[in-house]
């Protein structure tokens, strides 16, 4: 089982670039890129909150559980 990060899909749906999301969230492009590619082991709720606010989505839109 694993958790898959779907940040790239949500960003594509919103036609938002990584640099734009970085400016909106205050999170570096490096950290967003790591999150986008699934190279992180944990995500803070505060990080999810600010990303969801900028992308106008729910946390469930960004994360997917795969058995």
Q: What is the pTM (predicted TM-score) of this model?
A: 0.91
Question: In this predicted structure, what is the pLDDT of residue 62?
Answer: 96
Instruction: Please give the chain's pLDDT, 67 residues, in tens.
Output: 799 999 999 999 999 999 999 999 999 999 999 999 989 999 999 999 999 999 999 999 999 999 8
> Comparing C-alpha atoms, which of 4, 15, 3, 11 is closest to residue 57?
11
Q: What is the distance between the alpha carbons of residues 54 and 64, in angstroms, rounded to a whole number?
A: 19
What is the pLDDT at residue 1? 78
Question: What structural domains does the chain harbor?
Answer: 2-66 (1.10.260.40)
Sign, CA dihedral 55-14-41-60, equals positive
User: For residues 4 and 64, is the Cβ–Cβ distance under 8 A?
Assistant: yes
């Amino acid at each position: 089982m694993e958790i898959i990060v779907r940040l790239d899909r949500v960003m594509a749906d919103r036609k938002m670039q990584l640099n734009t999301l970085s400016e909106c969230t205050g999170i570096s492009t490096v950290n967003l890129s790591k999150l986008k590619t699934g190279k992180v082991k944990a995500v803070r709720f505060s990080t999810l909150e600010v990303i969801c606010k900028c992308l106008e989505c729910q946390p469930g839109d960004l994360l997917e559980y795969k058995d």
